Amino acid sequence: MAELTSRTVDRCRICGSKKLHRYLDLGRTPLANSYLAPEHLEEPEFQEDLCIQLCLECGLSQLTKVVHPDRMFRHYLYVSSTTATLREHFAELAATAAKAAGTKPGDLAIDVASNDGCLLSAFKAVGLSALGVDPAQNLAAEANARGLETECAYWSPDMAQKVSGRRGKAKIITACNVFAHADDLHGFMRAVDAALAPDGIFIIECPYLLDFIHHGEFDTAYHEHLSYLGVTPLEKLMAARGFGVFDVERFPDIHGGTVRVYCARAGQRPRTARAAGFFAQEEKFGVRAPAAYDAFAKLVLENRAILRGLIEKLTNEGKTVWAYGASAKGNTLMNFFGLEARLVPKAIDDNPKKWGYFTPGARMAIVGIDALKGARVDYLLLLAWNFESEIRKRCQAAGYQGDFIVPVPKARVVPGRKT
């Protein structure tokens, strides 16, 4: 894959400014979703710089390097439907979007980066026609086999024109946890413009910048996440493409804090008071000023020393520590904090597609929750801390009697007996 080169980012992908301030450098790390089969453990892993910079003009945070997307997305093991939390969330999203758009039965909804079709199923359940677009060949094939129509492709203006010519204009277009993955955001919006009905709505869901900073969620930084988004830079982009943000919702329990940003063509819908509140909050935070970002980076470094020291201490005392969640965020944390399989040998994951693989960098063996039975595990490091409540219930149902370590925003031990 030598031809799949990375690109250095020296200007803002939204406003074009070169006034960029680096504030969090996580070093050179492997790709967070590049899980290793046993036969590949002796091979070198691809690595790239993982460093975030702030645009001082519009407030966009973005990585300094863009890894070629084919390295990350052509074969993908993360699936949206693994957790009940996300299945329920997408069911609510489909119903809310249909109401907001004023759809009628049979109207088209397009989900960009539709993954295994979790949201497509929800759209069909509320009476809409649903079409997915996703570049992961394995996931697109699975979705199509289940009757969830999916184009195996990257979202682009050409793809949008193709879809519109065949299916007509969409009343709803969704981009859940993908907008931050796109390098060419203006091209992404040109594609939305080409496929969306004149009175349609475009909905973005992504981890929220202020949660990222306020809650120390550095581990949601990985090479797939090119941008770290607030509504202020998003509105700058929308205005440049003839759109506007008209409403915003926040979901604190989804991925550590997610915003749902509702967009429509300029002048189509008035901005809600709720959305105005988000813009005011970001101005108060200082979304374009370095101070809060630099303070965040300092706290991340302090937490690295705390968690590393805790795990070393437990290991030296003869305690066994496993992880729960062979997640991308967990891989960022393990590699930046210098935690390897010597300290945390196994990672439990609820996605069977990952079982038998090893995590990138740290090389933890990935197993299912049944591996807890008969194993003496004293602590579980909750790498998928965004699903803490659900994971703890699963572990207790499986008979786990140990304690939990929650790693962010500041590492702490939570007794297992708590519910």
Query: DSSP character for 241?
Result: T
Residues of the chain above pLDDT 70, percent: 96
Looking at residue 108, its amino acid is L
pLDDT at 138: 87
- 90 and 59 in contact (C-beta within 8 Å)? no
CATH number for 409: 3.40.50.720
C-alpha–C-alpha distance, residues 75 and 56, integer Å:
35
User: pLDDT (tens digit, 9 = 90+) per residue, 205-260?
Assistant: 999 999 999 999 999 999 999 999 999 999 999 999 999 999 999 999 887 889 99
Sheet-wide strand order for 346-348: 365-367, 346-348, 321-324, 379-382, 403-406, 412-414
Report the domain count for the chain.
Answer: 2
Joined tokens for residue 204: 């973005």
pLDDT at residue 73 greater than cutoff 80: no
Average pLDDT for residues 153-174, to the nearest whole number?
96
- E strand spans, 266-406: 321-324, 346-348, 365-367, 379-382, 403-406
- Looking at residue 2, its pLDDT comes to 46
Q: Which domain holds residue 96?
A: 80-289
The answer, yes or no, to whether the previous bond of 409 is cis (omega within 30 of 0) is yes
Instruction: Please tell me the predicted confidence (pLDDT) of residue 385.
Output: 87
Q: Are residues 377 and 239 in the same domain?
A: no
Provide the pLDDT for residue 82.
Answer: 57
Say if CB 415 and CB 403 are below 8 A apart. Answer: yes
**Rg of the chain (C-alpha set):** 21
Judge if 181 and 113 occupy the same domain: yes
Q: Establish if 401 belongs to a structural domain.
A: yes
* Same structural domain, 200 and 104: yes
Nearest by Cα to 288 from 230, 219, 217: 230
Judge whether 180 lies within some domain: yes
Q: Do 229 and 372 fall into the same domain?
A: no
Tens digit of each residue's pLDDT (9 = 90 or more) over 91-135: 999 999 999 999 999 999 999 999 989 999 999 999 999 999 998
Last residue of a domain, one of 260, 289, 318: 289
Phi-psi group of 308: left, alpha or beta (phi > 0 → left; psi -120 to 50 → alpha; rest → beta): alpha
Residues 358 and 283 in one domain: no
**Is residue 29 included in any domain, yes or no?**
no
44 in any annotated domain: no
202-212, pLDDT tens digit by residue? 999 999 999 99
Residue 405: pLDDT band (50, 70, 90) is very high
Which of 289, 318, 344 terminates a domain? The answer is 289
Tell me how far apart the alpha carbons of residues 51 and 25 are, in angstroms, rounded to a whole number.
4
Residues 280, 245 share a domain? yes
Domain boundary (289, 317, 346) is at: 289
- Tokens coding 268: 């189509």
Does 289 have pLDDT greater than 70? yes
Q: Are residues 278 and 317 in the same domain?
A: no
CATH number for position 143 = 3.40.50.150
Q: Is residue 36 part of a domain?
A: no
**Distance in angstroms (rounded) separating the CA atoms of residues 280 and 286:** 10
Averaged over 338-345, what is the pLDDT?
96
The answer, yes or no, to whether residue 320 has pLDDT greater than 90, is yes
Phi, psi of 27 (to 5 degrees): 80, -170
Residue 75 pLDDT exceeds 90: no
Tokens standing for 141?
């094939």
Tell me how far apart the alpha carbons of residues 178 and 362 are, in angstroms, rounded to a whole number: 26
Q: Is the separation of the CB atoms in 192 and 160 below 8 Å?
A: yes
Q: Is residue 84 part of a domain?
A: yes
Class of residue 249 by CB neighbours under 10 A (exposed 0-12, middle 13-18, buried 19+): middle
The verdict on 346 and 388 lying in the same domain is yes
- What is d(CA 339, CA 322) in angstroms, rounded to the nearest whole number? 11
Is the pLDDT reported for residue 3 higher than 80?
Answer: no
pLDDT of residue 1: 43
Which 3 state secondary structure label does DSSP give 286?
coil
Q: Distance (Å, rounded) from C-alpha 61 to C-alpha 234?
A: 11
Say yes or no: 270 and 319 in one domain.
Answer: no
108 assigned to some structural domain: yes
Q: State the Cα–Cα distance between residues 373 and 378, nearest whole angstrom.
A: 13
**Residues 323 and 400 reside in one and the same domain:** yes
Mean per-residue pLDDT, 285-289: 98
Bridge partners, 170 (sequence order): 196
pLDDT at 191 (0 to 100): 98
> pTM for this one?
0.89
Residue listed under structure tokens 């759209």: 123
**What value does the mean pLDDT take over residues 355-365?**
96
Residues 241 and 352 in one domain: no
The model's confidence at residue 15, banded by pLDDT at 50, 70 and 90, is very high
At residue 56, does pLDDT exceed 80?
yes
Q: What is the mean pLDDT of the chain?
A: 93
With 50 as the cut, is the pLDDT of residue 419 above it?
no
What is the distance, to the nearest Å, from the Cα of residue 202 to the centroid of all Cα atoms in its chain?
18
Residue 316 has pLDDT above 70, yes or no: yes
Confidence of residue 386 (pLDDT cuts 50, 70, 90): confident
Return the minimum-mean-pLDDT range out of 62-71, 340-349, 366-375, 410-419.
410-419
Q: What percent of the chain has pLDDT over 90?
A: 84
Residues 213 and 332 both lie in one domain: no
Q: Structure tokens of 170?
A: 């969409």
CA dihedral 182→185→191→196, nearest 10 degrees, is 100
pLDDT of residue 374: 84
Q: Identify whether 258 is part of a domain.
A: yes
